[in-house]
Amino acid sequence: MNIKRVKGDVGEAYTAKWLRRHFYKVIDTNYSCRFGEIDIIARKGKYICFVEVKTRSVNAIDRPASAVGYAKQRRLITTAQHYLTSNPTELQPRFDVAEVITKDDKVTDFNYIENAFQE
């Protein structure tokens, strides 16, 4: 398994645990279709949250959320639309980003950005 995937798995597992501790219900993880992948799909209150997890090492130059540019946002929105077509809901969709900073595969910093971008 490559190092980048291991680091991503650490970030996604930490984020899923954080969401559960903060009263989110994790519906799906690593949802993929021909348009792309969504790391975590969760619900809380009136929202269905499509969560992009970005994990970086402690000595990275940029914040992890900076990797979620316009093209990535478009792919996430299209993937979420595909998910909602297959799984209709009355919940309001929201796009969140989880920033995970690690050192030696241990989380040193975490930032959860609700409503990080919109359709």
Q: What is the pTM of this model?
A: 0.93
Is 51 within 8 Å of 19 (Cβ atoms)? yes
pLDDT at 3: 56
pLDDT at 4: 61
For 8-77, list the strands marked E by DSSP.
25-33, 36-44, 47-57
Mean of the pLDDT values across residues 87-111? Answer: 95
Is 116 within 8 Å of 93 (Cβ atoms)? no
pLDDT at 53: 97
**Which domains occur in the chain, in start order?**
3-117 (3.40.1350.10)
pLDDT at 119: 82
pLDDT at 8: 75
Report which of residues 8 and 60 the model is more confident about.
Answer: 60
Average confidence score pLDDT of the chain? 94
